[in-house]
Amino acid sequence: MASSPPSSAPFSSSEEATTSSNDGSAVQSLKYSRRASLRSVVGRPDGGRGLAGKRAVVGGWVKSSNTVKAKLAGPVSPARMPTTETTTGLTCTEVLMARVPLIRCFARLIGGAADVDRASSVSFKLATGTALMRINDGSCVADLQIVVDSSLCPLKQVTAIGACVLVEGKIELVEGRSQQHVVELRVDKVLHVGTVDIDKYPPSNVELPPPELVKDYPQLATRTTAMASVARVRSEMLHAAHAFFQTNGFFHVNTPIITATTVAGDRSKMFRVMRLESKSDNRAITPEVVRASIKAKTKQIEALNRSESNKEALEAAKLDLQRANELARQLEQQGNADFSDDFFQHPVYLSPDHTLHLETYACALSSVYTFSPVFQAESLERHKHLAERWTIDAELAFAELEDAISCAEDCLMWLLSTVSKNCSDELKFLSNGENNGYFSHIEPAVSSPWERITYNAAVNTLLQVREKSFKAKVELGTPLSHEHMSYLVDDHYKKPVIIYEYPKELKPFYARLMEDGTKVSAFDIVVPKVGTIAYGTQKEERMDNFTARIDELRLPRDHLESYLDIRRHGTVKHSGFSIDIERLIFLVTCLSDIRDVKPFQRTKSNAKC
Amino acid sequence: MASSPPSSAPFSSSEEATTSSNDGSAVQSLKYSRRASLRSVVGRPDGGRGLAGKRAVVGGWVKSSNTVKAKLAGPVSPARMPTTETTTGLTCTEVLMARVPLIRCFARLIGGAADVDRASSVSFKLATGTALMRINDGSCVADLQIVVDSSLCPLKQVTAIGACVLVEGKIELVEGRSQQHVVELRVDKVLHVGTVDIDKYPPSNVELPPPELVKDYPQLATRTTAMASVARVRSEMLHAAHAFFQTNGFFHVNTPIITATTVAGDRSKMFRVMRLESKSDNRAITPEVVRASIKAKTKQIEALNRSESNKEALEAAKLDLQRANELARQLEQQGNADFSDDFFQHPVYLSPDHTLHLETYACALSSVYTFSPVFQAESLERHKHLAERWTIDAELAFAELEDAISCAEDCLMWLLSTVSKNCSDELKFLSNGENNGYFSHIEPAVSSPWERITYNAAVNTLLQVREKSFKAKVELGTPLSHEHMSYLVDDHYKKPVIIYEYPKELKPFYARLMEDGTKVSAFDIVVPKVGTIAYGTQKEERMDNFTARIDELRLPRDHLESYLDIRRHGTVKHSGFSIDIERLIFLVTCLSDIRDVKPFQRTKSNAKC
């Protein structure tokens, strides 16, 4: 069995193959890629010092470069720097250094120019016609400095920012020519060059602010050190989550994405799923589509009226408009349409929430969790809402609210501390090099147990606030606004706060009714900067209360029969919670916009590629 | 930081709390559930012997039971067995024992009656008015036998199959009263009883064959030992997969589910995603809907014609029909509808494939994988196709086809061997107790490297077959049928076969063209019983070839600009593969129908709950 035992340290058992090298002493390549990972070279604690003298095959994309031109004599001053790349880097740095953290990250990525200067200012020590480049393969924050001689390949190709190179050479110590690098690779073989159209390459465009880069070129965004760091943080977060649940005896299940069961109050925020017609992919007609076509037809008629040339065309257009209006009228009448010919033969949606399906698993396997996407069509406050989010949902049988709260708190603490330990380079980079940048977010969250207060206590605390006035009125029975919550976590308690015991009107119908008959067993976990990062409920397991609440809210009973069944037969106390992964990453990465937590975001009018 | 370090053995660090017991020596409870997991009692290698004398709180659902009625004297013969449950079990066993493996599993679940007999036949040793029950909490295959005295609670309630109980008591050795159980729990406190409406409880209904149980009551299916075992196998499979990729330096990324980019040849098999209208959830009208309403209106007119009573109604109905026909005609004309008013302002789909998005991550982070759902509206052969499937997709930069093949083979071998090691109880149960049942599927797959042959070699092998004739003609350039593939793996090589180097017509447009200009670097992994379980390609990284192929196939270029970009700028050789998780579980669990691999299946006309 060739595959590596998961228990072994990363890479250890996967470093069997060695680089195609005539030298016995070579850095081991990855098992499934013909090169050594940069993480195994410059990502080492010693920065690669221990590998000096060894040969290696490495690959990556060029982050910055500097060429020593033959005509140059003596130290190269930044002003006289010949390569556009470095200049680009400098300008970009100046332009962007003042901006939000993410932008500063991009700046330091495209630039890092300062370092190239230091390198270049002494680079006359290098043979002329030599290129000094920094490459990165996305496996770690640190770049590897490589030295390529013009005799090996046309330097203009390999030195362009964004070019991809696969090279072989010898690792050597950098004798004080750079404060950033311990070692560099002296290339003696260029195995592959993926050229770049430098003028068209978005990341090298100074005029393009990084947020637009992410929005307009998601396919290239992960090539930036900032977005690559965010991606690695996400990956580490997910691995830590699976480890947490596996260690605590949870089973990983997959709840359905397409579902007919909806308990969402506002269906206008759900996505409908339909099968496409074979002839055309634009056949499913909504009232919006018809209205749009009416708009178009009216414009056309106006145009024809202005140019009084073509009477027939005008008549035809008018008739066409009549028809379109008739179509719109018909659509109004199709309220109770028959879906028996659609693929699923009834209306189906994209799941906005995995709670109910997860319950059925918990009432059979006891402790379960899922990591799945949820969907919500939220038009307001685009910067806060993603139409497609991934959440971790856990459900425990034989468990009450306090159990779910403890589990959620432990899980979040575990995720935060694991990531801050294993992704310190990424977090430092994203917080612009200041250790405190990310600790200011994470430290209060992992240093001590979190505050637990009831909803009533939270409201009373807010009612006593004198030093400031809130936009939204503080009142018992009304939801807490983002402003209210941020006061509690940022100003009052200065740590994450767990708010529990809510009025039943503020929580889903399935939350368990408490003895007083007005409150339910539910909780929210609120953290600085982000707001609510997790929420949970103890489910109503008592058949009578459950049905009573369904009738009270006039919910479609037929959708809920399956959830009545698990209460009708062998019901059990069960509780669970949901963690919003994108918000968690947003919290630790110091990003300024949650839409930057991954390249292919789905928000209002944005699902292009 | 309270949470348990993932490195620790399952439960070890999560077993801090102890049961609420006046006895110091108690089985430790789960950290987030107020009871001990049955896996930590009867799931132990010693079957629980080492825990004899300890107290424990345990919970679970009643699988079978037998009550010793006061009037009984001497041994109880099955015929005189008083409880319907056991009789049910027996009948069910007889009825079902002859059926497919899954059904046998259900039979042994609902019954296990034989064992109850043995217990009951000697149960006079127990005090009268005592109930002997077997409960399970879904954490392992083995049930725990518990003994409850009628003085503690009404036995009729707790002994009903499907009831949920939370009990406290003392673990004692079973003195030879059962061959199945080493220990039993002598209950002295009943903490919770979730009653069951036995007549309405589907799993206790003999007349209901298990496949229908799964189909009609997915919410309860996981309570059966068979489906619970499948769920545990799935969970173990997923944990093993994450471990494999993490150990080999892959980053876990999430590609989008909602996408505008489609490279699917047949769009009729894609699902369209639309935002719902706020007023009603039935507003999106397709031609099918209109045709359906025309059907209905026509029927109505016929009816009115028959009863010649209401002339006005008839006229109105006829007018209405005319309008509906007009609507249908209009829909035909909406070919190039304008989606500017829809949520995303352009047509979007459910992703049928994560390959292209994953490529963009790989061309930045080098080695990435994702575990996500994919969607396909396949009407034919429902038993073979799920509309919603989960796949593991991996993509490697600086890697060629052989690298991807090796990685996929190692990964599959790792998953199969891990599951057969860690889920042997489940696999034995699902293969009806015969060790060979599951080994017959898995052993050839993990005992030796798999066969690697080119598509041409596969075809030539099939052309030389004399002993049988295939339904589908064997011919170079045509796809291999399921029959062809099963001949290769089952009859010829008797092990999984990796088929590579296909004619370009048989593989996606992005597969890398080989030197001969007719074949592409792609592969399929074919296993016994299931057929193709994984497939992969080396991607075409050369801009010219990529665009040439797109034009050749007349694919919509605008969709593909983002994938052109990663070839336009710093292109690199990259390869990847996709593993079908449901098929993998289908392979190891000896199920007879892939729709049984999870309870909430999505197939043609089936997405109800």
What is the average pLDDT across B338-359? 82
> What pTM did the predictor assign?
0.83
Each residue's pLDDT tens digit, B291-308: 667 777 777 788 777 776
Least confident of A46-50, A139-143, B296-300: B296-300
Q: Exposed (0-12), middle (13-18) or buried (19+): which is A81, by Cβ within 10 Å?
A: buried
What is the rounded CA–CA span in Å between residue B436 and residue B450?
A: 20
What is the average pLDDT across A68-74? 51
The closest alpha carbon to B499, from B464, B547, B462, B447, belongs to: B462
Task: Reply yes or no on whether the pLDDT at B67 is more than 90.
Answer: no
What is the rounded CA–CA span in Å between residue B367 and residue A238?
A: 16
**pLDDT of res. B117:** 34
**pLDDT of res. B339:** 61
Beta pairing, strands B55-68 & A574-580: unpaired
Q: Which of the four pLDDT bands, split at 50, 70 and 90, describes residue B609?
A: confident
What is the rounded CA–CA span in Å between residue A190 and residue B55?
A: 69
Least confident of A538-552, A558-572, B231-245: A558-572
* B398 reaches A (C-beta below 8 A): yes
Residue A52 CA from chain centroid, whole number: 37
**pLDDT of res. B233:** 96
Domain spans of chain B, in order of start: 2-70+127-194, 225-265+348-597, 285-334
Q: Which residue type does A263 have?
A: V
DSSP strands (E only) in A22-151: 55-68, 130-136, 144-149
Dihedral sign, Cα of residue A197, residue A201, residue A206, residue A208: positive
Q: Which of the four pLDDT bands, split at 50, 70 and 90, describes residue A330?
A: low
**pLDDT of res. B210:** 61
The closest alpha carbon to A238, from B356, B371, B231, B422, belongs to: B371
Asked if residues B497 and B484 have their Cβ atoms less than 8 Å apart, the reply is no
What is the rounded CA–CA span in Å between residue A131 and residue A156?
A: 9
Each residue's pLDDT tens digit, B400-454: 999 999 999 999 999 999 999 999 999 988 887 555 555 666 777 788 899 999 9
Question: What are the structure tokens assigned to A230, written together?
Answer: 């965010």
3-state SS, one letter per residue, for A407-468: HHHHHHHHHHHHHHHHCHHHHHHHCCCCHHHHHHHHHHHHHCCCEEEEHHHHHHHHHCCCCC
Least confident of A108-117, A340-349, A475-484, B342-351: A108-117
Each residue's pLDDT tens digit, B473-482: 999 999 999 9
Give the side-chain half-sphere CA count within 13 A for B132. Answer: 27
Task: Reply yes or no on whether the pLDDT at A114 is more than 50.
Answer: no
Task: Reply yes or no on whether the pLDDT at B517 is more than 60.
Answer: yes
Q: Which of the four pLDDT bands, split at 50, 70 and 90, describes residue A558?
A: confident
Contact residues, chain A, for B5 at CB < 8 Å = 247
Beta pairing, strands B367-375 & B251-252: parallel
Task: Reply yes or no on whether the pLDDT at A278 is more than 70.
Answer: no
Query: Does A220 sit within 8 Å of B3, measured CB to CB?
Result: no
Instruction: For residue A578, give the 3-state DSSP assignment.
Output: strand
Query: Does B411 sit within 8 Å of A280, measured CB to CB?
Result: no
What is the rounded CA–CA span in Å between residue B133 and residue B144?
A: 8
Chain A, nearest residue to B378 by Cα: A343
What is the average pLDDT across A486-514? 95
What is the rounded CA–CA span in Å between residue A98 and residue A96?
A: 5
Give the H or E element holding residue A357.
Answer: helix A355-365
Least confident of A51-55, B328-332, B403-407: B328-332
**Within the 288-317 window of chain B, which residues sit less than 8 Å (CB to CB) from chain A?**
288-293, 296
**pLDDT of res. B389:** 93
**pLDDT of res. B207:** 55
Question: Which fold does the domain A225-265+348-597 belong to in CATH?
Answer: BirA Bifunctional Protein; domain 2 (3.30.930)
What is the rounded CA–CA span in Å between residue A13 and residue A31?
A: 9
Q: Which of the four pLDDT bands, split at 50, 70 and 90, describes residue B43?
A: very high
Asked if residues B538 and B401 have their Cβ atoms less than 8 Å apart, the reply is yes
The Cβ of residue B227 has, within 10 Å, a number of other Cβ atoms equal to 29
Each residue's pLDDT tens digit, B434-446: 555 556 667 777 8
Contact residues, chain B, for A280 at CB < 8 Å = 335
What is the rounded CA–CA span in Å between residue A229 and residue A222?
A: 8
Torsions phi, psi of A387, nearest 5?
-70, -25
What is the average pLDDT across A115-140? 68
Task: Reply yes or no on whether the pLDDT at B73 is more than 60.
Answer: no
Q: Which residue has the higher pLDDT, B96 or A505?
A: A505
Distances (CA, A) of B5 to A417, B243, B251: 11, 15, 21
Q: What is the distance in angstroms between the Cα of B11 and the nearest Cα belonging to chain A? A: 6
Q: Which of the four pLDDT bands, split at 50, 70 and 90, describes residue A317?
A: confident
Task: Reply yes or no on whether the pLDDT at A124 is more than 50.
Answer: no
Query: CA angle at residue A364 from A504 to B117, to 5 degrees?
Result: 135
Integer-rounded Cα radius of gyration of chain B: 30
Query: Does B11 sit within 8 Å of A249, measured CB to CB?
Result: yes
Contact residues, chain A, for B607 at CB < 8 Å = 256, 258-260, 344, 346, 348
Task: Reply yes or no on whether the pLDDT at A410 is more than 70.
Answer: yes
Task: Reply yes or no on whether the pLDDT at B27 is more than 60.
Answer: yes
Task: Reply yes or no on whether the pLDDT at B220 is more than 90.
Answer: no
Q: Which of the four pLDDT bands, split at 50, 70 and 90, describes residue B383?
A: low
> What one-character DSSP code corresponds to residue B301?
H
The Cβ of residue B213 has, within 10 Å, a number of other Cβ atoms equal to 23
Least confident of A19-23, A68-72, A348-352: A19-23
Each residue's pLDDT tens digit, B83-99: 333 333 322 322 232 23
What's the whole-number average pLDDT of chain A?
A: 80
Task: Reply yes or no on whether the pLDDT at B523 is more than 50.
Answer: yes
Integer-rounded Cα radius of gyration of chain A: 30
The Cβ of residue B73 has, within 10 Å, a number of other Cβ atoms equal to 8
Q: Which residue has the higher pLDDT, A7 or A445?
A: A445
Q: Which residue has the higher pLDDT, B524 or A332?
A: B524
Q: Which of the four pLDDT bands, split at 50, 70 and 90, describes residue B115?
A: very low
Percent of chain B surpassing pLDDT 90: 49
Q: Which residue has the higher pLDDT, B338 or B607?
A: B607
Each residue's pLDDT tens digit, A189-223: 999 999 998 888 876 655 555 667 777 888 888 99
> What one-character DSSP code corresponds to residue A573?
-
Distances (CA, A) of B53 to A559, B16, B183: 48, 20, 10
* B421 reaches A (C-beta below 8 A): no
CATH code: domain A2-70+127-194 is: 2.40.50.140
Cβ-nearest to B270 among A276, A287, A417: A276
**pLDDT of res. A206:** 53
Instruction: For residue B239, give the 3-state DSSP assignment.
Output: helix
Task: Reply yes or no on whether the pLDDT at B377 is more than 50.
Answer: yes
Q: What are the counts of helices (DSSP H) followed by strands (DSSP E) for chain B?
A: 18, 17
Task: Reply yes or no on whether the pLDDT at B508 is more than 80.
Answer: yes
Q: What is the distance in angstroms between the Cα of A81 and the nearest Cα belonging to chain B? A: 24
**pLDDT of res. A300:** 76
Q: Which of the four pLDDT bands, split at 50, 70 and 90, describes residue A605?
A: confident
**Which residue out of A136, A223, A285 would a mutagenesis test of the B interface target, given it has the greatest number of B Cβ atoms within 10 Å?**
A285
Q: Which of the four pLDDT bands, split at 50, 70 and 90, describes residue B316?
A: confident
**pLDDT of res. A92:** 33
What is the rounded CA–CA span in Å between residue A481 and residue A506?
A: 12
Q: Exposed (0-12), middle (13-18) or buried (19+): which is B448, by Cβ within 10 Å?
A: exposed
**pLDDT of res. A115:** 36
Dihedral sign, Cα of residue A560, residue A562, residue A563, residue A567: positive
Question: Who's near A409: CB < 8 A, 6+ residues apart?
Answer: A449, A450, A498, A525, B2
Q: What is the distance in angstroms between the Cα of B520 and the nearest Cα belonging to chain A? A: 20
Asked if residues B584 and B423 have their Cβ atoms less than 8 Å apart, the reply is no
Each residue's pLDDT tens digit, B174-193: 976 667 789 999 999 999 99
CB pairs under 8 A between A and B: 566
**Which residue out of A193, A196, A276 would a mutagenesis test of the B interface target, given it has the greatest number of B Cβ atoms within 10 Å?**
A276
The Cβ of residue A386 has, within 10 Å, a number of other Cβ atoms equal to 24
Q: Which of the four pLDDT bands, split at 50, 70 and 90, describes residue A287?
A: low
**pLDDT of res. B311:** 77
DSSP strands (E only) in B406-463: 451-454
Asked if residues A148 and A138 have their Cβ atoms less than 8 Å apart, the reply is no
> What one-character DSSP code corresponds to residue B581?
H
Task: Reply yes or no on whether the pLDDT at B257 is more than 80.
Answer: yes
What is the average pLDDT across A538-548? 96
What's the whole-number average pLDDT of chain B?
A: 80
**pLDDT of res. A301:** 80
Task: Reply yes or no on whether the pLDDT at B395 is more than 90.
Answer: yes
**Which residue out of B1, B3, B164 would a mutagenesis test of the A interface target, given it has the greatest number of A Cβ atoms within 10 Å?**
B3
Least confident of B25-39, B99-113, B375-389: B99-113
Distances (CA, A) of A17 to A11, A31, A343, B251: 11, 6, 50, 21
CB contact burial A544-559 (16+ within 10 A = b; e otherwise): eebbebbeeeebeeeb
Percent of chain B surpassing pLDDT 70: 75
**Within the 475-534 window of chain B, which residues sit less than 8 Å (CB to CB) from chain A?**
none
Question: What are the structure tokens assigned to B158, written together?
Answer: 């707790």
Question: Who's near B118: CB < 8 A, 6+ residues apart?
Answer: B177, B178, B179
Beta pairing, strands A367-375 & A251-252: parallel
Task: Reply yes or no on whether the pLDDT at A85 is more than 90.
Answer: no
Would you say the ipTM is above 0.90?
no
**pLDDT of res. B278:** 38
Task: Reply yes or no on whether the pLDDT at A570 is more than 90.
Answer: yes
Q: Which of the four pLDDT bands, split at 50, 70 and 90, describes residue A119?
A: very low
Give the H or E element holding residue A303.
Answer: helix A287-306
CB contact burial A301-334 (16+ within 10 A = b; e otherwise): beebeeeeeeeeebeebeebbebbeebbebbeeb
Asked if residues A426 and A233 have their Cβ atoms less than 8 Å apart, the reply is yes
Query: CA angle at residue B426 from B420 to B428, to 5 degrees?
Result: 75
What is the rounded CA–CA span in Å between residue B428 and residue B514?
A: 45
Query: Which residues partner with A538 through β-bridges?
Result: A575
Question: What are the structure tokens assigned to A516, written together?
Answer: 């007083």
Asked if residues A518 and A503 have their Cβ atoms less than 8 Å apart, the reply is yes
Q: What is the distance in angstroms between the Cα of B346 and the nearest Cα belonging to chain A? A: 8
Give the H or E element holding residue B372.
Answer: strand B367-375
* A566 reaches B (C-beta below 8 A): yes
What is the average pLDDT across A424-444? 73
Chain A, nearest residue to B237 by Cα: A252
Cβ-nearest to B602 among A11, A258, A350: A258
